[in-house]
Amino acid sequence: MARTGHLAGGADKAAVLDTFVLGNYAFLILDVYLAHLVNRFRHGAEWIPVGFSAAAVLVLAPALVLRLRGRGPSFAHHAGLVVGYASVAVGLAGVLYHLDSQFFSQWTVRSLVYTAPFAAPVAYAGLGFLLLVNRMVPSRDVEWGQWVVFFALGGFVGNFGLALCDHAMNGFFHATEWLPVFASAMAIGFLGVALVEQHEGFFRVSVAVLALQVVVGVVGFYLHLVADINGLSSSLFENFIHGAPVFAPLLFVDLACLAMIGLWDMRSQGASERGGNVPLADVGDDGVEPTLPSGEPHAPRRGRKPWITSVPSRSGERLHHRVPRQCRSTPPATLARRRLPAGRGPPGPPQELVWSRLGRKEM
């Protein structure tokens, strides 16, 4: 499977991520509106995130449609950049405004718990960074999926703080209020390891952890909904405004979907590398690609531990490449060598390949 800008099934990765961001901005219009109804929009600045979310939807929706139709790629690119930078600014300003409500005047843990949820505006910064990454990092690169997982990890860090502070307001009266705290901490740990560990078995465990986040989010949504329906006020609307935030647990589902996009891409890119799609001597200095005696390029077999080959460059530095275990029985002298096409490497006399295992040179 060669490296492409598509997920399994042929979906355009960049378009999928843009659709995810667009859906989040649309949902934030309602979510932020209900959240700021608690004080009836006492400060005029509380309308900024609502208006910005609506404007982002109006800009990104036509840009996405044009992108899917193969038209106006420049408009989609620049629209995403503008919305992305503005979203980061709105998010960071929102964090400062929320902390300024109590924390900056008292500097206590109590004021941090009972202040406006300081981590909530970070969602705008996260969405903005996703838009920027989607335009600055090619979707066919391995780094694209790693950035997506990284921002999903950051989202779970914010979710951990939200769950901890919100449920600390009533002293974790119900034992089930600890579940989102533990679930967020678990997601943080596994996604952090997933950025450096791409083993197939760990990928499956990570998918199971993300599935657990979806379950926690759905169960939390149900518990918050029931708590609001049975609230103290006779008005159901007032219970939804001043009671448990009914949409907050759905952030677990949202972040799990985002992390799954990144993990799936990292898995696909890892399979591409194991399949030998990238020539081993592409970065070599002699322009020569090693092949098997049959004339076929080396392709690592799945599940085999790779070896290391080093190619001396003109500067004396050795450039290491991962090659399959099957090369162990093939002495360097008997390896068939073929010249790469013009432009694939700098001119120069072929150098002798030096084989080593796990970095130990065998001269």
Both tokens of 249, joined, read 């647990």
Whether pLDDT at 357 is above 60: no
Note the pLDDT of residue 239.
79
Both tokens of 157, joined, read 């860090």
| Cβ atoms of residues 63 and 75 within 8 Å | yes
- Give the Cα separation of 52 and 31 in Å (integer): 13
Average pLDDT of span 308-337: 46
Whether pLDDT at 119 is above 70: yes
> Higher confidence at residue 99 or residue 155?
155
Interval 239-260: pLDDT, tens:
777 777 888 899 999 999 999 9
By mean pLDDT, which of 12-16, 270-274, 337-341, 353-357 is the weakest?
A: 353-357
Q: Where are the domains of the chain?
A: 1-140, 161-278, 288-361
Judged by phi (left if over 0) then psi (alpha if -120 to 50, else beta), residue 115 lies in beta
pTM score of the predicted model: 0.67
Average pLDDT of span 5-22: 76
Note the pLDDT of residue 231.
76
Q: What is the 3-state secondary structure (H, E, C) of 281-303?
A: CCCCCCCEEEECCCCCECCCCCC
Note the pLDDT of residue 106.
55
Interval 127-137: pLDDT, tens:
999 999 999 99
3-state DSSP call for residue 357? strand
Interval 194-241: pLDDT, tens:
988 778 888 899 999 999 999 999 999 999 888 888 877 777 778 777
- In 10-98 the beta strands, taken as DSSP E runs, fall at none
Note the pLDDT of residue 11.
60
